[in-house]
Amino acid sequence: MLPVEFARESGAKKNQRGDKITLVICPESARVQTYWILLDVPDLTAARKCLATREGIPKKWETDIGFTDCASGQTHGLEADRITTWGAAIGLAGVVWTNLPCKFNGQHVMPSEAEVIAFLRALDGTNRVPAERYVRQAPTQIDTLFRQAIERELGWLRHD
């Protein structure tokens, strides 16, 4: 259970707005069910680089990828203590996660529900498709307050 929310405007091009709102850890948000998967990598550094590549974070992977080494206790990132406790309890050697902050309109701020809805509503056809797909394809159990508003206001219901 982690405090995640649809609170990061992502996909921005130079001098332009982003094209979707993505899930990130937001300490002030309610905790919801999240998911994890095993990575077949030789060590924690390889796991961090693998996730950075998947998330399109090649330059700042050392700060933008959170991690915990469950054996040494070395950690970095939001919710690291909680993730370390969980990972150690189930016998993981380490855990990695995307450690990007909330961001809206080019600022590292938590957007309001109304701002997220207005942003998504204003997307044109080309940009609307990936944004809608991202929201609909997020696992059903990631039932955040903003997701409930997106479903209610835009009709972007979950794909099961």
107: helix, strand or coil: strand
Q: Round to whole Å and give the CA distance between 32 and 88.
A: 20
| CB contact at 8 A, 62 and 32 | no
Q: How confident is the model at residue 121 (pLDDT cuts 50, 70, 90)?
A: very high
By C-alpha distance, which of 60, 31, 33 is closest to 48?
60
Q: Which residues are paired to 107 by β-bridges?
A: 104
Question: What average pLDDT does the segment 11-24 reach?
Answer: 78
By C-alpha distance, which of 155, 153, 138, 160 is closest to 5?
138
- pTM to 2 decimal places: 0.89
